[in-house]
Amino acid sequence: MIYFTYTEMACRCGCGTLELEPGFGPGLDGLRGEYGWPLPATSVCRCPDWNWHENGHENSLHLTKNKLWKVKTCAADVRRPGPDRLAVLVRVALARGFSVGIHDDFVHLDWRTKALDRPAKLFTYR
């Protein structure tokens, strides 16, 4: 990984688990490189206990071992940039095959297109 640290990517409960779906780390790095500005990660890998703590969906793509989809982590939440940079992030992420979820405080980026062979989505948290 070029732009992200182990600490940013690993589970934040203290277990330190870092298990990414093959290709997701380089894909996230490529997105960050093309985007051109920092993307501070706020949540990437989550063990089941931390996912519960974070009120994550039971089949969250942040999970290090997803029982439904049988994949490792293929989602990252990053700090939400200002409006101009947000528009660039959304455009670049969608063009690179990421799904994008926009929250007031963060942007969710996941790889359902590659890991699950599902169509990309653009959504908001409301």
pTM over the 0.75 mark: yes
Overall number of domains in the chain: 1
Tell me whether residue 81 is in a domain: yes
Question: CA 57 to CA 33: how far, in whole Å?
Answer: 29
Question: CA 45 to CA 50: how far, in whole Å?
Answer: 9
pLDDT at 126: 83
Tokens found for residue 82: 């200002």
Tell me whether residue 84 is in a domain: yes
pLDDT at 5: 96
CATH number at residue 98: 3.30.1380.10
Question: CA 96 to CA 48: how far, in whole Å?
Answer: 28
Q: pLDDT of the chain along its 126 residues, tens only?
A: 999 999 999 999 999 999 999 999 999 999 999 999 999 999 999 999 999 999 999 999 999 999 999 999 999 999 999 999 999 999 999 999 999 999 999 999 999 999 999 999 999 998
Tokens found for residue 102: 């926009």
Tell me whether residue 51 is in a domain: yes
Containing domain of residue 98, as a range?
A: 6-124
Question: CA 28 to CA 56: how far, in whole Å?
Answer: 21
Tell me whether residue 1 is in a domain: no
Tell me whether residue 102 is in a domain: yes
